[in-house]
Amino acid sequence: MPDPFADLRNELAVANRILANEGIIDAFGHISVRNPKNPERYFISRHRASELVEPSDILEMTLDSKPVVPTNVRLYSEMVIHGEIYKARSDVNSVCHHHAPAVLPFCATGVELVPLFHLGASMGDKVPFWDSRDEFGDTNLLVRTPEEGASHARALGPHFMLLLRRHGASLAGRSLRECVFRSIYTTRNAEMQLRAMAIGTLGPLSPGEAEKCGSHNLGSRGVERAWEYWVTRLQKAEATWAAAGLPRMKGLAEVAHPQTAGLKSSKSRTPSSGRKLARARKK
Amino acid sequence: MPDPFADLRNELAVANRILANEGIIDAFGHISVRNPKNPERYFISRHRASELVEPSDILEMTLDSKPVVPTNVRLYSEMVIHGEIYKARSDVNSVCHHHAPAVLPFCATGVELVPLFHLGASMGDKVPFWDSRDEFGDTNLLVRTPEEGASHARALGPHFMLLLRRHGASLAGRSLRECVFRSIYTTRNAEMQLRAMAIGTLGPLSPGEAEKCGSHNLGSRGVERAWEYWVTRLQKAEATWAAAGLPRMKGLAEVAHPQTAGLKSSKSRTPSSGRKLARARKK
Amino acid sequence: MPDPFADLRNELAVANRILANEGIIDAFGHISVRNPKNPERYFISRHRASELVEPSDILEMTLDSKPVVPTNVRLYSEMVIHGEIYKARSDVNSVCHHHAPAVLPFCATGVELVPLFHLGASMGDKVPFWDSRDEFGDTNLLVRTPEEGASHARALGPHFMLLLRRHGASLAGRSLRECVFRSIYTTRNAEMQLRAMAIGTLGPLSPGEAEKCGSHNLGSRGVERAWEYWVTRLQKAEATWAAAGLPRMKGLAEVAHPQTAGLKSSKSRTPSSGRKLARARKK
Amino acid sequence: MPDPFADLRNELAVANRILANEGIIDAFGHISVRNPKNPERYFISRHRASELVEPSDILEMTLDSKPVVPTNVRLYSEMVIHGEIYKARSDVNSVCHHHAPAVLPFCATGVELVPLFHLGASMGDKVPFWDSRDEFGDTNLLVRTPEEGASHARALGPHFMLLLRRHGASLAGRSLRECVFRSIYTTRNAEMQLRAMAIGTLGPLSPGEAEKCGSHNLGSRGVERAWEYWVTRLQKAEATWAAAGLPRMKGLAEVAHPQTAGLKSSKSRTPSSGRKLARARKK
């Protein structure tokens, strides 16, 4: 029986590896996607670094973050970050949690992250803070219990990015690609803010600009252009490793080059995958 | 019928990929070149990341930034940045627009970018600022309408680099290679200024030094030496990907190694491309 | 006669190359491991850069840092760093000494390194300072004599990380992998602290959080996940060099992919090495 | 007739490419070596980026920086930096001039570069400043005339590193490898100083420590270990490009792996080159 979620597993595996390839996730961190056919379920990798995730690593979870099919493989200890956001936010279909080096200084100081350029506006109108100590006292800082997960989701509220004091960031997206886009460009914005604060006074986007930039950049044009770029960069890296004799990572061939509308040189390169993706998105 | 602009398309595709390879442009940003035979036209890629641009992606535009040949492929939404500068500045034959991480902190704070070393003097005598809010209020910060494009070109005035508040930078060059050179070395100067401001008081070039350095470095010697270096670095990257089985990017073989005057080892390596380039430049 | 320490030599060689590949050690620095069968001995590479270390470079030393088997190959001049810590600390089975760029600014200023995120808590409750000038006056800053080594070990005391003024850092681990983990994540914490101090006031982990985070992250789950990630990254780099015709570095094939419990795609990839490692750890 | 300077050309070509590979020199900058058989001559590449230099690019110059054999290839415009130092300093056998990003902020601010760790002590007891404006007024900042070259050499005086205001750095070495070592580790020290000044008060080496560290690290042990490391890293990069079909860069095979004393695995790898180097050094 063919797996009805094969495309989704491929895309989520690739999203994991893009976030590793672009420097957002190292050994720790994770990204998930809601089951498009059953909103009470989501997909996430078993316990391993994003750079290594393949479609066969992807497991299905209930919103209580329990595996739908019992398993004895190791699971991430912080899955409630994902499940509790999916419970609280029906508009959210993808969640990412990471500890990118440019974002952590904000988590360590409490300095507010503000949108400083059009692409950074993907952070949304506000990036709230969550401090696990407020409700739970001294912990190992991980978000492990349903109560911690629910508290974390409440702190996110209606927003799309949350900073965790002394820990990292969690992001939500209406789609997997939007979540990847937001994870990468908010990190670029954080990098810029670190550098800008060292030389002068910040002049962030006005609320009106932030709203317009967010809408524009998260439209399909911008997200697809960036996705094609990140997929291509990942292809280059992974093709090199495969040519060197390492096992070819699975999942990438099926999602390559989404932008096939248009010129011949591109069309001839990836006709089937482009169509496959187009179909996947229509579902 | 052979394409009379084949060389130009190759060179512009390579310029795109050099700017990606050197970290100036990521998924967003673009570079264009004026049609050397018809100053009312310019060439630019369709809507895609610079790292992916091949000669067949290059389209010809009128100075109103409309495609000369009607097309249904996606186009950049900010082409008026290019068209309106070409209208206003007959001395300009190439325009670049980017969001390099080292330049954005200046766009976010309004701190003036100043020449701090001889190669940074390629920025020209002054780098003005343009704030879209002044004339157009809250927008999505992109330069999309002819009015926005014209305002942006007026802000550039007679200069060669313009900072866009909360957005990025636009650069002009008398040639494509000068525009690439300026885009890269002004970014290096920005990086240096960020670091220098953190430790002491800036001692920038005097106006006389800036003028002499700019003239010297933008002479053909310096630009050609740097171009050979960037082309070689791109060759190394792209040869590796092609050897790994990815389709070989087009356009690079034709512009490789411009510096063929001189010693044998270099001459024997790229005789035809060097001559081809030499011919192209004489036209 | 088979070498009873072949697995250990492989693992120590790989640890050396991981620390190089992750940017912790450049031409200088070293890591050692105590002989698990004879606590009065330890293993360390001969005098060469970590990036180049292979199992055959690994020599056995007494705790006085003399080679067990006389040799005329060059040895590191700072081996007493290792030997004297092993003498003083029976709980320590691995020692690393490095000059990572992110840690050196703390060594140059005396600013205290504090845990700012959960993974940084691997530094332990406190990172003391050792200044060779206090006891030994002007030296070449290297830790060469038994007296210097003993003084350095006293400064470490019961802790797991020590900063050496105007020099670098030394770290201890209960296992080799713990020592690698601590070396890498304390460097990431240092990087974060440098950036955080530039924008605001640090809010470090509470002592309770630091203790809980340290225990959790240094448990086998976290260390193994990170180890798999670093091994995979090293594999990618080394496979590329080997495919290019350079001699394949020895030792990596035997320690690859420790996380073989679980899904098929991973199991089929590295069955024997996974089992070999599992066996090695049981010893 | 075999070239009596073949080994030297190989080594100088490799030194050029090491400095490019380690991020010290980009499109601009150069390194030279004095003719060991005729102190009135030195060798330097023709006008091209260091990353591209091969043995056949190396030309011989008089101390007046004129080519010994007339040539019509392009030459660097700043060769007097080299020739005038060789005239003034009989103890100097190699000169490097670069614009490394970490050093330029010191050139732009006049902040003094001080030794902050043992390897940084290779800068010597003091790093003086030279401002071309003092004697020559507004220039294009390049050191082109014999008078400028002589003034620059006077500013260096008996030291080994000189900062050029608004321009870059020049370094001298008693040998080529020492000059490479000093160029790289003073740049690492500059990077550290930039970061350290952002968080606290510098505690540099005492004069006694600086002297002892400089002597120790510039001894053959340290220089050879670092040279082996840099050569290996260059090998990895260049082997990858050659395997991808690019012409193999010349000169590297002959200087690889100097540290052949000792263990078998290394000996068997590069027997002839090691011996060749050993012979070259005895000359």
* CA proximity to A146, closest of A67, A59, A79: A79
B-facing residues of D in 14-53 (CB < 8 A) are 26-28, 46-49, 51-52
d(CA B195, CA B198): 5
Q: How far is C35 from chain D (nearest CA, A)?
A: 21
Question: Residue A55 carries which side chain, given as an amino acid letter?
Answer: P
Token pair in block for residue B195 = 């670091």
pLDDT in tens, B170-195: 999 999 999 999 999 999 999 999 99
CB nearest to A199's CB, from B197, B241, B246: B197
* More reliable by pLDDT, D276 or B195: B195
**Could you count the other beta carbons within 10 Å of the beta carbon of residue D67?**
16
Q: Name the DSSP class of B79.
A: T
Tokens 């006292």 locate to A137
Tell me the C-alpha distance between C226 and C245, whole Å.
29
DSSP 3-state of D41:
strand
> Phi-psi category of D40—alpha, beta or left, where left has phi over 0 and alpha has psi -120 to 50?
alpha
Predicted confidence (pLDDT) at residue C259 exceeds the cutoff of 50:
no
Instruction: Name the residue of chain A whose CA is nearest to C193's CA.
Output: A105
User: Which residue among D49, D105, D165 places its CB closest to the CB of B225?
Assistant: D49
- Mean pLDDT estimate for chain D: 91
Q: What does the alpha-carbon distance between residue C74 and residue B16 come to, in Å, rounded to a whole number?
A: 50
**Burial (CB count within 10 angstroms: exposed 0-12, middle 13-18, buried 19+), residue A1:** exposed
pLDDT tens digits, one per residue of D55-112: 999 999 999 999 999 999 999 999 999 999 999 999 999 999 999 999 999 999 999 9
Element (H, E) at B14: helix B6-21
Joined tokens for residue A18: 């893009």
Q: Name the neighbours of C, counting chains with at least 3 Cβ pairs within 8 A.
A: A, D
Round the average pLDDT of chain C to a whole number and report it: 91
Q: Give the C-alpha distances (Å, rounded to integers) separating A224 from A184, A260, B115.
A: 14, 11, 37
Q: List C-alpha distances in Å: B229 to B70, B172, C70, D11, D77.
A: 37, 21, 50, 21, 17
A269 touches B at CB < 8 Å: yes
- The sheet that has B58-62: what strands, in order across it? B58-62, B41-45, B30-34, B94-98, B168-173, B161-164, B129-130
Measure the CA–CA gap between A248 and A251, rounded to whole angstroms. 9
Which element (helix H / strand E) includes C62? Answer: strand C58-62
Mutation target vs A (from B141, B144, B187, B192; most A CBs, 10 A cutoff): B141
Q: What are phi and psi of C104, to 5 degrees?
A: -60, -35
Q: How far apart are CA C137 and CA D209, in angstroms?
A: 9
Given a contact cutoff of 8 angstroms between Cβ atoms, the answer to whether B17 and B238 are in contact is yes
The 10 Å CB-count burial string (b at 16+, else e) for A161-177 is bbbbbbbbbbbbbebbb
Residue pair C145/C77 in contact (Cβ under 8 Å)? The answer is: no
From chain D, pick out residues whose CB is under 8 angstroms from the CB of B199: 105-106, 109, 111, 193-194, 197-198
pLDDT over 70, % of chain B: 90
Tell me whether residues D192 and C142 touch, CB distance under 8 A: no
Task: Pull the structure tokens for residue B282.
Answer: 């004489």
Mutate to test the interface with B, among D71, D109, D164 (most CBs of B within 10 A): D109
CA–chain centroid gap for D12, Å, is 9
User: How far is it, in rounded angstroms, from Cα B246 to Cα B240?
Assistant: 9
Secondary structure of residue C222 in the 3-state scheme: helix
ipTM above 0.85, yes or no: yes
3-class SS string, chain A: CCCCCHHHHHHHHHHHHHHHHCCCCCCCCEEEEECCCCCCEEEEECCCCHHHCCHHHEEEEECCCCECCCCCCCCCCCCHHHHHHHHHCCCCCEEEEECCCCCHHHHHHCCCCCCCCHHHHHHCCCCCEECHHHHHCCCCCCCCCHHHHHHHHHHHCCCCEEEECCCEEEEEECCHHHHHHHHHHHHHHHHHHHHHHCCCCCCCCCHHHHHHHHHHHCCHHHHHHHHHHHHHHHHHHHHHHHHCCCCCCCCCCCCCCCCCCCCHHHHHHCHHHHHHHHHHHHC
Question: In 3D, which of B268, B18, B229, B216 has the Cα closest to residue D50?
Answer: B229
Q: Which of C27, C35, C259, D140 is nearest to B121 (CA)?
A: D140
Angstroms from A203 CA to nearest CA on chain B: 5
Indicate if the pLDDT at residue C189 is higher than 70: yes
Provide the chain A residues 68-107 that lie in CB contact (below 8 A) with chain C.
Answer: 71-74, 77, 99, 101-102, 104-107
Distance from CA of A183 to the nearest CA of B (A): 14
- Closest to C126 in 3D by CA, of C55, C42, C61, C210: C210
CB contact under 8 A, C57 and D265: yes
Q: What are phi and psi of D25, to 5 degrees?
A: -115, 135
Give SS3 for C211.
helix
Q: For residues B273 and C49, what is the distance between their CA atoms, to the nearest angstrom?
A: 41
Chain-chain contact of B110 with A203 (C-beta, under 8 angstroms): yes
Q: B49: distance to nearest CA of chain A, Å?
A: 6
Give yes or no for a contact between B79 and B96, defined as CB atoms under 8 angstroms apart: no
Q: What are phi and psi of A242, to 5 degrees?
A: -65, -40
Chain C contact present for A139, CB below 8 A: yes
Q: Report the gap between the CA of B144 and the closest CA in chain A (Å).
A: 12
- Per-block mean pLDDT, blocks of 10 residues, chain A (283 long): 92 98 98 98 98 97 98 97 98 98 98 98 96 97 98 98 98 98 98 97 96 91 95 96 94 67 33 36 36
Q: Can you give the pLDDT at residue D256?
A: 57
Nearest chain D Cα distance for residue B109, angstroms: 19
What is the pLDDT at residue D1? 72
Other CB atoms within 10 Å distance of the CB of residue B1 = 3
Q: Nearest Cβ partner of D118 from C74, C133, C141?
A: C141
Among the listed residues D78, D178, D238, D254, the single catalytic one is: D78
CA–CA gap between residue A193 and residue A114 (Å, rounded): 8
Active site residue C40: no
pLDDT at D254: 77
Determine the pLDDT at residue C275: 35
pLDDT band at D276; cut points 50, 70, 90: very low
Catalytic residue (choose from A11, A78, A178, A254) = A78
Cβ-Cβ contacts under 8 Å for D117 (sequence gap 6 or more): C99, C104, C107, C108, C141, C166, C167, C168, D189, D192, D205
Shortest alpha-carbon distance between residue B199 and chain D (Å)? 6
Chain B with chain D: Cβ pairs closer than 8 A: 147
Residue among B191, B199, B242 whose CB faces D244 most closely: B242
> In chain D, where does DSSP find H-type helix?
6-21, 80-88, 104-109, 132-136, 146-156, 176-197, 207-217, 220-243, 264-269, 271-282
Q: Is the pLDDT of residue C221 over 70?
A: yes
**Pairwise CB contact (< 8 Å): D262 & C167:** no
For C101-138, what is each residue's pLDDT tens digit?
999 999 999 999 999 999 999 999 999 999 999 999 99
Model confidence at C277: pLDDT above 50: no
- Pick B110's closest partner by Cβ from A200, A236, A269: A200
Give the per-residue pLDDT at B91: 98
Residue C257: the pLDDT is 55
pLDDT at D268: 32
pLDDT tens string C47-101: 999 999 999 999 999 999 999 999 999 999 999 999 999 999 999 999 999 999 9
Give the span between the Cα atoms of B241 and B146, in whole angstroms: 40
Q: Tell whether the model's pLDDT for residue C201 goes beyond 60.
A: yes
* A186 CB-side CA count, 13 A: 37
Residue A212: phi, psi to the nearest 5?
Answer: -65, -40
Q: Which of residues 158-177 of A touch C (CB under 8 A)?
A: 165-168
Restricting to B residues 179-208, those with a Cβ less than 8 Å away from any Cβ of D are 188, 191-193, 195-196, 198-206, 208
Q: pLDDT (tens digit, 9 = 90+) per residue, D30-51?
A: 999 999 999 999 999 999 999 9
Question: In chain D, what residues touch C71 (CB-CB under 8 Å)?
Answer: 262
* pLDDT value at residue A280: 36
Taking a C-beta distance cutoff of 8 angstroms, is the pair C121, C205 a contact? Answer: yes
Count how many residues are written for chain D: 283
pLDDT for the residue numbered A270: 34
State the Cα–Cα distance between residues B233 and D17, nearest whole angstrom.
Answer: 13
Q: How far is CA A246 from the centre of its chain?
A: 26
Between the two ends of chain B, the Cα-to-Cα distance in Å is 19
Residue of A nearest to B250 (CA): A265
State the catalytic residue, choosing from B11, B22, B54, B78. B78
Two tokens at C126?
A: 């406190």
For residue B51, give the nearest of A201, A217, A232 by CB distance: A232
How many C-alpha atoms does D62 have within 13 Å on its Cβ side? 7
Sign of the CA dihedral with D162 first, then D164, D165, and D167 last: negative
Does any CB of chain A come closer than 8 Å to the CB of residue C10?
Answer: no
Judge whether residue B138 has pLDDT over 50: yes
Residue C124: left if φ>0, alpha if ψ -120 to 50, beta else—which one? left
**0.90 exceeded by the pTM?**
yes
Cα distances from C88 to residues A268, B90, B282, C82, C96, in angstroms, run 67, 77, 76, 10, 15
Closest CA to B198 of D100, D109, D131: D109
